Amino acid sequence: MQIIDEAKNIVLIGLMGSGKSAIGRTIAKKLGRRFIDTDRFLERKTGKTVSEIFEQEGEQRFRLYEKEVIKKISQYIGIVIATGGGAIKDPENFKYLKESGWIIALYASPETLYKRIEGKRIRPLLLNQDDPVKKLEEIQNERKSIYAKADFQIDTEAKDIDNISGEIMDLLNIEKPMTAFDFGL
């Protein structure tokens, strides 16, 4: 197995609940790479949650913050990035991320996505929705053509995080870095 170019980033895109953050953390840990979740990075930078930004400043302002964060993070090398679900709607964001590494789109059914996020962190795009599953389906259909531009597409339906992260590492021909332990030292 050939080890990939370690300078290239691994970028995970997909809808909320697709597993970007959990899978990204797992891959980063296995590879000894830094992990950055763009939404959490943005929250630290602004001192506000994504929901607070949406509520107080609107989606347009949030997208401007997000664009700044993605432009900055895309300059880093050898990291694992989990983007916010809508980050790739902006063609410049997609371009920055694509130039920095491999883009991997994660998929699951709207029903599964909703089960994964229900009762967790507030999702601004699902607030006040009578049928959040239907809204997820609409968002998924809107973004389908963008996700199709990714280097790889991974179905996360009925798979656990370790299986998915292993599948991604196999696709990219990544070997876990050797340690002194591996050499019996």
- Which pLDDT score is estimated for 1? 40
4 falls within a domain: no
Question: Whole-prediction pTM value?
Answer: 0.86
- Which pLDDT score is estimated for 12? 97
3 falls within a domain: no
Instruction: Give the total residue count for the chain.
Output: 185
- Which pLDDT score is estimated for 179? 47
Query: d(Cα 177, Cα 74) in Å, to the nearest integer?
Result: 23
What does the chain look like in DSSP terms, one character per residue? -PPP-TTSEEEEEESTTSSHHHHHHHHHHHHT--EEEHHHHHHHHHTS-HHHHHHHH-HHHHHHHHHHHHHHHTTS-S-EEE--TTGGGSHHHHHHHHHHEEEEEEE--HHHHHHHHTTSS--GGGTT-S-HHHHHHHHHHHHHHHHTTSSEEEE-TT--HHHHHHHHHHHTTPPPPP-TGGGT-
98 falls within a domain: yes
1 falls within a domain: no
65 falls within a domain: yes
178 falls within a domain: no
Q: Are 139 and 89 in contact (CB under 8 A)?
A: no
182 falls within a domain: no
114 falls within a domain: yes
- Provide the domain limits for residue 89: 9-171
Q: What is the pLDDT along the chain (185 residues), one digit of tens a residue?
A: 444 566 799 999 998 889 999 999 999 999 999 999 999 999 999 999 988 998 899 989 999 999 999 999 999 999 999 998 889 999 999 999 999 999 999 999 989 988 887 766 656 566 666 788 888 899 899 999 999 999 999 999 989 999 999 899 888 886 655 444 444 44
Number of domains in the chain: 1
Q: Are 136 and 126 in contact (CB under 8 A)?
A: yes
**Domain CATH number, residue 105:** 3.40.50.300
